[in-house]
Structures are given as structure tokens and as C-alpha cells.
Amino acid sequence: MSSAIRIGLLRLADSAPLIIARNLGIFERHGLDAELIVSPSWANVADGLVWNGLDAALIFPPLAIMTALGHRGREINLGPGIPVSRGGNTVVLRGQLIPSFLDTDDITRRRSFGSWRNGLSRRPKLAVVHLYSTHFLILMDFLRSVKVDTEQDVEIVIMPPDRMIDALADGEIDGFCAGPPWGTEADLRGLGSIVAGSANIHPGHLEKTLVTTQRWEQSSPALLQALQAAIGEATRFCMNPGNSAEVVRQLSRSLSNGGLSLPSKATEQIMPYQNNPNAMQFDFSTTGADLSINWMVQAMQAQSWLTPANMKRLYELGWLTPAPIS
């Protein structure tokens, strides 16, 4: 039985439990030899799961589901995994002092977006981190709320989250939906304004889950429980307000020194229990199917990503559970 596990992740603040578990020796205490592989894009993470480059990945449910269903070349058995984080995604539009889209009526929101779009003198180009992402689904809901034709009125492009700040600064994109801390970083640098996000569109939604491949689970069955215990300990550490400074320090370290090279001020502002509606949260309270992915599955069906046969497979994999008989 091997204790080695290769885990894929991206440069995002909600990867904190994995960084903490490795850097503070939590994985090691639980008998795990964990290698964290910082990937350049979500496509790389999905391909690593499918083609044996990774044993596990911290990933959002839509991409895990579509990967399991064979959209990266072949089907693999990926269940819902270990819940790690909730919320934290933000929609950013170019510019500062944009009229509020929150706590206003529908007509005001539509006018605000129309005024912003007219100021660009072109069709806005908005980035998301992957097509099969919570970010894409949240952005679609936001655009529909301001009566935007998502096919005609905007252009949606795919881009790794850590590239979005430079792309916004260079005029390559006009906005984005991404995870923490990139929306806050755009705001702090005066490049864009946070106009919506998880907090007001789908509050409390499951954002990242740690999925493991069946290949690793079968080769190391006793270690799955150890992995759950390690992640549980690390998430509790990250949710403790007294540990926030240490978590920020670890995330801000360079990649070569075991960190993710995240901007420290923006990361500090989106830590749990900050007075910030866009703060990320870590949650190890449930395992298995999670009710907060129901809206994702419904939205994925609306996008025609899922067939009836796919839905049956999601029940088999544990992503969905049958409604209780009353």
C-alpha cells in the first residue's frame, strides 16, 4: 500500500487547506506523502485525472462531473469527493465607481449594465476560468439578471484565473468571473469593480471538492480515511480566525517556497470571517452528495450539457441522491 498521492490545484486562495496540510505537516502526520501539483489551467487538471497524471484534484463540481462523464477523452469514476470550500467567486467589470448592481431593482440593474457597456464602445469580452465551471454558470445568471443576450451582447472567453488581472490591465478582456483572491485584487489595483458573485447569486454554494480517482482509492483504500482526516484538520485550521495571518503568509509565499504567490493584501481581505460578503469559506461538514449542487445540475441541464443517461450516471456516482419517500 502506497501513501503517495499527487493532487492537482490552481493558484487560488481556496486551495489553502491543501497548502496548509502540506506545509504544516498535517498530511505527513496522517501517513500521507502528498505532492501538490500547481497546474496552469483547469483543462490540465481534468486531463491529469483522466490520463493518470494525478491521483486527486481540488476542483469545482461541474468540471468534475463532466470529466467523469467522458468529456476529457474517456469516462472515469469520480464521485463527489471531500467538500472543501464554499462561495468566494466574484464578477468583475472594467472600471471603478460602476453604479451598483446590488440591492437595486431590475430596471436600475439593466440600465447600469447598459451604461457600462455603452462606455466601452464595443461588445464586452468577459472571461471565465473554464466552460464547465461554477464561474460560467454564475456569470450566465448575472448576465440574464441584467437582460443581456449571452449569445449576441457579450463574448465569453476561457482563461486561467491567475492570468485575468494582466489581461484586464492590458485591455484583453473587459471583465471576468473568477475565484478568490483575483476579484479583490482587480478592485484593489483599480482595474475593475466587483458587481456580483457567489454571495448574492448562489450564496453558500459548494465551490471546491477534493475528488480522488478510483485507481488511487483501490490501490490505497485505508488511506482515503486518512485523507479525509487530514483535510478536515486543515479546513478547521483555515476557518480559525486566529490562524488567518499564517494562512495568508503561506499562500503568499513563492511557488518555489511552497506557496502560491498570491497577493497578500487581497488574500487577507477574503479570508473567512472578514467583514466582506465575498470572503471564502471552508466547510468539511458534509461528505457525499451535497444539496448545494442541485442548482448547478439544473443549470448544466439548461445548457444542454447533460443527457437523461448522464443524469442516471450521476446518481450511480453519488453526485445526486434520490428524493426521500414521504
Domain chopping of the chain, boundaries: 4-87+205-317, 90-201
Q: What is the pLDDT of residues 86-115, one digit of tens each?
A: 999 999 999 987 766 766 777 888 888 888
Domain 4-87+205-317, classified CATH 3.40.50.720, yes or no: no
Strand-pair category, 82-86 with 90-94:
unpaired
Task: Provide CB contacts within 8 A for 1, sequence distance 6+.
Answer: 219, 220, 222, 223
Is 322 or 90 the better-scoring residue by pLDDT? 90
User: Is 3 exposed, middle or buried (CB count within 10 Å of its CB: 0-12, 13-18, 19+)?
Assistant: middle
Q: Label residue 288 by pLDDT band (50, 70, 90).
A: very low
| Cα–Cα distance, 165 to 293 (Å, whole number) | 28
Cell matching residue 125: 469580452
Q: Identical fold at 4-87+205-317 and 90-201?
A: yes
User: What is the side-by-side strand order in the sheet with 192-197?
Assistant: 155-158, 125-128, 175-178, 90-94, 192-197
- The pLDDT, as a whole number, for residue 248 is 98
Among residues 149, 150, 144, 154, the alpha carbon closest in space to that of 196 is found at 144
| Cα–Cα distance, 270 to 178 (Å, whole number) | 13
Q: Label residue 287 by pLDDT band (50, 70, 90).
A: very low
Whether the predicted pLDDT of 85 surpasses 80: yes
What's the average model confidence in pLDDT over 118-143? 95
Among residues 243, 123, 257, 261, the alpha carbon closest in space to that of 185 is found at 261
Q: What is the pLDDT of residues 59-78, one digit of tens each?
A: 999 999 999 999 998 999 99
**What average pLDDT does the structure give for the chain?**
92
Q: What is the pLDDT of residues 184-217, one digit of tens each?
A: 999 999 999 999 999 989 998 999 999 999 999 9
Cell matching residue 100: 451598483
Strand-pair category, 82-86 with 281-282:
antiparallel
Can you spell out the DSSP letters for 181-230?
THHHHHHHTTSEEEEEEHHHHSTT-EEEEEEE-HHHHHH-HHHHHHHHHH
Domain 90-201, classified CATH 3.40.190.10, yes or no: yes
Whether the predicted pLDDT of 324 surpasses 60: no
Asked if 159 and 167 count as a contact pair (C-beta separation under 8 A), the reply is yes
Whether the predicted pLDDT of 83 surpasses 90: yes
Which position has the grid cell 482515503? 224
